Structure 1
Amino acid sequence: MKTINTTHQMKAKESPTNGILIIDKKTGMTSMDVLRRVKQATGQKKRVGHGGTLDPLAEGVLPICFGQATRLMELLVSQTKEYTMTIRLGVTTDTYDSEGVASEETEYSHLSRETIEKTLEKFRGTFPQTPPMYSALKREGKRLYQLAREGIEVEREPRLVDVHDINIVGFALPFLTIQTECGRGLYMRSLAHDFGQELGCGAHVSYLKRTRTGLLSIDGAMSLEEFEKEVHAGNWRNFLRSIDSLLLSFKSTIASERTAQLLRNGQAVSLPIQGQRIGHLDTYRIYTDGGQFLGLIRYDKPVDRWVPFKIFNLRERSPHFDQ
């Protein structure tokens, strides 16, 4: 008699897993360590990725994307982020954080809070920043941190970075705690190092926590251990955010079934969006009239048409349909 694998049949009948999980990463783990454990726990091996690397020292918001949500990972990486960082003045390290080897110690006690705050203002706005040697950037196919471990230092091109807001929230020398809101590509370790150089006493990161990525806040995050317990209980999918939860900053509209099908087929459409001033390449969320999130569309002003930007094939009614 042929044995029927009921477990396999149950898995085959499960609807595809699409959504975003917010993990509160703990210090000591790499982002890939977290991703591997999530994959191992859930059995989801394909179309799973994280939305923005955190250093092993850092903790906080690490978005994990499942299924069709992986198509938004690049968007996640580019979104505004918030960090809380503690800086140790007076000591410079080779990695720019407390896990590195101290390379220089300098007196800091003469620095007043006024001087420190005035210097910090230089790191508000748009400015060039040189990435650290201990980073995952590549030079001729090799990671910079690999070269650094071999004692090799190479020239790095400065990049323009954006700091939207930066403030001191804790002052107990030699430690400063700073809250930062920044754009893509900023290295917090380099920010601490460069700030120390500007003060003339050196500095490094002793604590770093990402508290927000885009609309994903630490308040909605769960630890990896909590998540693994929910996997064991069979409830883990209940903790996934819908794909459009990342996109609530965009305005929304509704498509008829015919318009939805045209967009799925990659065709441009006309939409009766009224009472709004719409510019070229303005982006909207769009839903079917049944409440499913269809995707993102962009306005092509020269031809007065809306073109598909990111289109999804989702069955579930979105909890954000009316927002």
Structure 2
Amino acid sequence: MPKTVTKFPVSALFAVAKPSGPTSMSVVNDIKSLVTQSRLFVKAEELEKANKGKQKKKGKFSKSAVKIGQGGTLDPLADGVLVIGVGKATKKLSEFLDCVKEYRTTSLLGCETDSFDSEGAVVRVAHWKHVTRESVEEALPTFRGDIQQKPPIFSALKMDGKHLYDYAREGIPLPRPIESRPVTIHALDVIEWKGSDHSFRFPEKKFTEEQKQAVEKALHGIEDQVIVKDEPEEAETSDVSATAFVLQMRVSGGTYVRSIVHDLGHAVGSAAHVVTLTRSRQGRFALEPTEEGDFACVPWEVFEKAVKDPGEADADGWTEWERAVMDKMDIVD
């Protein structure tokens, strides 16, 4: 439960229910424009001084002593829990990088992409009609528990000062294998089998033969028999809706959800990529609080509305967005 507030300003953690589309940074910046103008987080004398100056340019933030940050980026495609820290609470944000997280993700069979999700370009298509719910569930135990997970080559991780995705795009052989990382998959289950009853389609962007050869060259000598090649009878994967299913998982920090989906596609003799991704829990912040000590998320629409027009303050001087945050924040002393 939120602590009772008797003195302002405060330092606090709260979570926003990020929508799919905007970047995490743009969400933080929009919230920052509100936070730096609120007596909830900024001393009254500092606000008064800033308002007197009125020297900020359009689109710029007034200089303020208050700090703000987020506890773990969500890709633009992803939605769900994004933890925000303000003031001294920013020092607590690192805790949310290693905490247990929960995700729901929709996986689409028959196609893998460079980014392992629908935002990327099609690298390879594969047969999918043979894959059943039973075959997917039979493959899941391999991915549960303490496992070694290899980050995708199309990631921002660096090797010898160069991003992995640069090696792949430029056809430069990797100097050594990508190191696997220990992660823990506490729970992993199929919670919905959509079959072909959905509107998802493969991305329109496709890898050229030259790009496929570049990836093969980057991985040559590191992985055995690297061949980025479509399977025959491509019509099977392009003329009708390929099978989709929803996974729910509870994982340790550092887990690549997209890699689980990608590797699972291989495990059932096909290919797969992520088409929706929701972070439903990050530590004690959750979209649907179910445990003692949980905090709910502030809907993004509350901030989006306030950025356009904060609205009138109530009898105690608080606006709608400030009340929403106060109701769901975890104060850090």
TM-score by length of structure 2 reads: 0.64
Question: Counterpart amino acid of 1:115?
Answer: S
Relative distance call for 1:237 and 1:148 in structure 2 (3 A) is farther
1:99-178 matches, within 5 Å, as 99-145=119-165, 148=168, 150=170, 154=174, 155-173=177-195, 174-178=243-247
What's the Cα RMSD here? 2.3
Change (3 A) 1:17 1:131: same
Stretch deviating more after TM superposition (213-222 or 188-197): 213-222
Aligned to 1:38, what secondary structure does the other structure show? Answer: helix
**2:278 aligns with one of 205, 209, 230:** 209
- Specify whether residues 146 and 20 from structure 1 end up closer, same or farther in structure 2 by C-alpha distance, changes over 3 A only: farther
Alignment partner of 1:224 out of 270, 281, 300: 300
Residue-by-residue CA offset, 1:222-280 (whole Å, 9 max, x unaligned):
33331243561334333144446xxxxxxxxxxxxxxxxxxxxxxxxxxxxxxxxxxxx
Give 1:141 deviation, angstroms.
4.1
Partner of 1:237: 322
- Alpha-carbon distance, 1:172 to partner: 2.5
Q: CA deviation at 1:60?
A: 0.5
Match of 2:14 in 1: 21
Shift of 1:120: 1.4
Give the drift of 1:29. 1.8
Aligned equivalent of 2:252: 183
Contact 1:69-1:243 at 8 Å conserved across structures: no
Map residues 190-201 of structure 1 onto 2, 5 A cutoff: 190-201=259-270
Where structure 2 has 5 or more consecutive residues not aligned to the other structure, the ranges are: 1-6, 38-63, 196-242, 289-295, 312-318
Tell me how far 1:22 sits from its aligned partner: 1.3
Identity %: 37
Instruction: Please name the residue that 2:117 is paired with.
Output: 97
Describe the superposition over 1:85-121 as per-residue Cα deviations: whole angstroms up to 9, x where unpaired: 0000111111100111111111111123222101012
Provide the C-alpha distance between the structure 1 equivalents of 2:98 and 2:271, rounded to a whole number of angstroms: 30
Looking at structure 2, the residues matched to 92 and 145 of structure 1 have their Cα atoms a distance apart, in angstroms, of: 16
**Structure 2 contact 150–180 (Cα < 8 Å) conserved:** yes
Q: Counterparts of 2:167 and 2:16 in 1: how far apart (Å)? A: 31
Match of 1:30 among 23, 31, 46: 23
Using the size of structure 1 for normalisation, the TM-score is 0.66
**Cα separation, partners in 2 of 1:31 and 1:89, compared to 1, 3 Å:** same
Deviation of the 1:126 alpha carbon: 0.9
CA distance in 1: counterparts of 2:321 and 2:171, whole angstroms? 44
Q: Distance in 2 between the 1:230 and 1:92 partners? A: 40
The SS at the match of 2:247 is strand
Higher relative contact order (CA 8 A, sep 6+): 2
C-alpha separation between the residues in 1 aligned to 2:19 and 2:162? 27
Unaligned runs of 5+ in 1: 1-13, 245-311, 315-323
1:69 aligns with 2:89: yes
Shift of 1:205: 0.4
Q: Is the 8 A contact 1:16 1:67 kept in 2?
A: no
